[in-house]
A and B are shown apart, each in its own frame.
Chain A
Amino acid sequence: MRVGIVAVAQNRFGDYPEWRPHELTYLVVEDVLKKAGLPFRDGYDDIVTCSSDHWDGKTLSDIEHGEVAGAHLGPGETKVSLDGANAVLLGYIKVLSGHADVVLVTAACKENQVMDPSVIENFGFDVPYHQLLGLDFTQAAALQATSYMHKFGLKREDFAEVAVKGLKNAKDNPYFFNGGDMTVEEVLGSQMLSYPITSVERRPFCDGACALILAKEERARELTDRPVWIRGVGSCYDHHNLGDRDLTEPAALFRAAQDACGMAGLKAPDKEIDVFEISEHYSYQLLLWMEGLGLCARGEAAKLLRAGELDRGGRMPVNPSGGLLGGVPRYVAGANRVIEAFYQLRGEAEGRAMPREPRVALAHGTYGPAGQHHCVIILERGF
């Protein structure tokens, strides 16, 4: 049985002091239901929301998100409190399990309402152990970045190049606010957060929501003549303590990609996948995750980037959307990657389409310190 994505919606991510988090969810739910031609509540059998009680500042943040998604005395709701790609994965599982024919998936986060994100992230480290070191996700990422640099002889310029290209691509994306033209020097010269990561090299914190409708094959074909099938999924946890891992080896990503590609029947992802929308919360991650996905040899991704192979028109387009550096909230991030891949596959990636028509896409989400958890989803054009 195949499961397809039939419609998607997202806000233009940015700063929304005028809306509450669930009001942002409502706007995208209203939009996606209209696009799918489905009535609220009766049009779907289940709802998967993605939000964080910590970031919403309330226990059971899904009360509000579920309500505006039509959960009341209807499809019920399940909250995933992990990166949004996992909410898409769960939606897929629910349809495949036969327990639901149509699932509404949402993800939302208002990062701008949280004044102390580092405090929250810090409490995500093992509290009796290394939380006291004052680590947050940026510092964990910085440790990974320097390890990666040293192991393969990379330079800060290699990472800055990711930001230069990403921000340039993001200019064309109507959903991204952080696009722009920067030089490597300007990137390196921006405010240092945690060596070697500068402020321009970190995904900007922002507000936004997105939604997707997933349906089993027969239903998907009724709802659209241009479905996008989910062909494979994978997810994986790595060790938590940074010292237990070789930070230069994204083992969890490798396993998640293997599972997803295996399900999709793909043996050579670098050749058989036409476009990649991956979650680079920090510039160096674009390169490291590419290697973890098995797209090139270890330490080689920077070269491919410089040679233009990862450009929209290149051999292996990565983040033609602009990527997370273009401005996507956490939790929404991985779901946005799926949505961007969906748009590319349907030829609806306004302003940011890759010139070659893609047939198969890979979307990726990650969460946790230095990418402790990864989720990979393989999508295929169904028309």
Chain B
Amino acid sequence: MARRVAIVGIGQTYHRSKRPDVNIGELSAEAVRAALEDAEVSANEIGAYVTGNMELFEGRYAQDMWQADYIGAVGKPGIRVTTGGTTGGTLASVAFEYVASGVYDMVMALGFEKQSEGDTRAGLKTVADPLWSRWYTTGAIGYFASQARFYMKQAGAPEEAGSMVRLRLAKHAALNPHAHLRLDLQSVEQIMESPYLIPPLRQMDMCPTSEGACAIVVASEEKASKMARKPVWVKDWISVHKEVVYIRGERHSVADLEMAAGKLFQRNGITRPMEEICVAEIYGPCTWAELEWLEAYGFCEKGQAWRLEEKGQFYLDREFPVNPSGGVVCTNPIGATALIRVAEVALQLRGGAGNHQIARRPTVGFSSAWGGSGWTVAHLLSATKD
């Protein structure tokens, strides 16, 4: 890249199912102010704003226009980038590019969603082509129910596997004050009592709709080096898309995940990802997705993820912490969700995750975003510049 960039500020709201006490602009402003405070910079020092969310979800239009005043973008350069579920990831990538280009020295990326204000199901249904599958689509839930069935078969996983993931995420979220769902779950058996949405997918397997915002401040190497707080360096980022044919051959394809992680690791000399990467915040819209996708990213062999889960290896005090924040299954304000992954990895790398800080000292972190018709955006962050 043309010049190195670093994340120097992180802010997010306390994600909830509803925030009737704020309007969307105020919600975003909370995250923006938190990021500015964290970075110890004033709004004046932000050179540009990169914002995004799910365009249709709140039933509003041109959200960047009426939010400009709330977030400090008035009188400043800015752009609006919206790529569905991967939006937060794309926001981070674009912010990195803005700074790496040399045109801007400090950029704020903001993702937000206030889903109770709109009709999320209606919004999600419109992903489907209006003339093809829109009449039929059961949205994300149908997709992931099908994925769960496939993983169980392919990996020989018991139905409990999903609940094991859920237990880990609940334990992690309990330590993360920003997480939305912080349920007091104690056992796999307890989670297995959760009602089905579409079998075998249970209510607890699936991510919620949350209201929240996340913002990061990205700075050039020169600026970052002068800042009081330890910057988190950006190593690389990638975006891989897939044709909108969900079933290839006979099954869901994970080609985008494989390619994104594969290329990212190869470009950065990572050959044993589970050993060389210290922490992963992966985008898992449901518990089963975490299992299938940990394999697809190449962290472990096909069919192995649930066995490692069963052994507890993905807990934050164990060998390979996955989603120490509680993940998407505990917190999902869609426009912000993928950016939260980046933010949480950054928090871990600078030792700032408080109670949900992983046990081992991390040097390299991986974050991912998923959405669209099977798209993956992924980032590699590092605690050191090299």
Q: State whether these chains interact.
A: yes
Beyond A53-B82, A78-B94, A237-B75, whether A373 also contacts B256 by CB under 8 A is: no
- B53-61, B163-171, B191-199, B308-316: which one contacts chain A? B53-61
A151 at the interface (CB under 8 A from B): no
Which DSSP category, helix, strand, loop or mixed, fits chain A's interface? mixed
List A residues 186-228 near B (Cβ within 8 Å).
Answer: none
Bound CA span A64–B373, Å: 9
A:218-257 near B, CB below 8 Å:
233-241, 244, 251-252, 255-256
Given the contacts A53-B56, A79-B81, A93-B103, A237 and B73 also touching, CB distance less than 8 Å: yes
The reply to whether A235 and B77 contact each other, CB–CB distance below 8 Å, is yes
Bound together, the chains give a CA A320 to CA B309 distance in angstroms of 65
Contact of B126 among A58, A92, A123, A367 (CB under 8 A): A58
B223-239: which have CB < 8 Å to A?
Answer: 237-239
Could you tell me if B2 and A72 are in contact, using CB atoms closer than 8 angstroms?
A: no
Residues of chain B contacted by A128 (CB below 8 angstroms): 23
In the complex, are the beta carbons of A239 and B79 less than 8 A apart?
no
Q: Which of A27-35, A95-103, A285-293, A349-357 contacts its partner?
A: A95-103
- Shortest CB-to-CB span from B24 to chain A, Å, is 9
A97 to B2, CA, bound (A): 5
Q: Are the C-beta atoms of B100 and A372 separated by less than 8 Å?
A: no
Interface string of A355-370 (1 = CB under 8 A from B): 0000000000001110
A13 to chain B, nearest CB (A): 22
Please tell me if B1 contacts chain A, counting CB pairs below 8 Å.
Answer: yes
Residues of B within 8 A of A73 (CB): 240-242, 255-256, 259
Residues of A near B60 (CB, < 8 A) are 123-124, 127
Q: Tell whether, in the assembled complex, residue A78 and residue B103 are in contact, meaning their CB atoms are under 8 Å apart.
A: no
The 8 A CB mask of A278-309 against B (1 = contact, 0 = none) is 00000000000000000000000000000000
A208 to chain B, nearest CB (A): 20
Q: Per a CB cutoff under 8 Å, which of A90, A120, A125 touches B79?
A: A90
Q: State whether B1 touches A99 (Cβ < 8 A).
A: yes
Distance between Cα atoms of A351 and B150 in the complex (Å)? 60
Contacts A60-B83, A80-B80: A240 and B244 contacting too (C-beta < 8 A)?
no
Q: How many residues of A are in contact with the other chain, CB < 8 A?
A: 64
Q: Please count how many residues in chain B sit with their CB below 8 Å of the partner chain's CB atoms.
A: 65
When the two chains form the complex, which single residue of A52, A72, A92, A240 contacts B242, counting CB atoms closer than 8 Å? A72
Tell whether A57 is near chain B: CB-to-CB under 8 Å: yes
Q: Which residues of B contact A372 (CB under 8 A)?
A: 65, 68
Say whether B75 contacts A252, CB under 8 Å.
yes
Question: Given A57-B126, A73-B259, A97-B2 in contact, is the A67-B244 Cβ separation under 8 Å?
Answer: yes
In the bound complex, what is the Cα–Cα distance between A63 and B69 (angstroms)? 31
> Which residue, of B79, B239, B377, has the highest number of chain A Cβ atoms within 10 A?
B79
Interface presence of B306 (CB below 8 A): no
Inter-subunit contact A124/B94 (CB<8 Å) = no
A94→B97 contact, CB < 8 A = yes
Q: Mark B347-386, 1 if CB is under 8 A from A, else 0.
A: 0000000000000000000000001110101000000000
Cβ of A81 and Cβ of B100 under 8 Å apart? no
Q: Are B78 and A59 in contact (CB under 8 A)?
A: no
Query: B-contacting residues of A (Cβ < 8 Å)?
Result: 1, 46, 52-54, 57-60, 62-64, 66-67, 71-74, 76-82, 86, 89-90, 92-94, 96-99, 120-121, 123-128, 233-241, 244, 251-252, 255-256, 259, 263, 367-369, 372-373
6 further interface pairs, Cβ-Cβ under 8 Å (given A59-B54, A367-B62): A59-B57, A73-B256, A86-B80, A97-B100, A241-B69, A256-B77
23 contacts between A and B (CB under 8 A): A53-B55, A54-B61, A58-B127, A59-B57, A59-B124, A60-B84, A60-B127, A62-B84, A63-B372, A67-B244, A72-B243, A74-B241, A76-B241, A76-B375, A77-B239, A77-B375, A92-B101, A99-B96, A121-B61, A236-B77, A237-B68, A237-B74, A372-B65
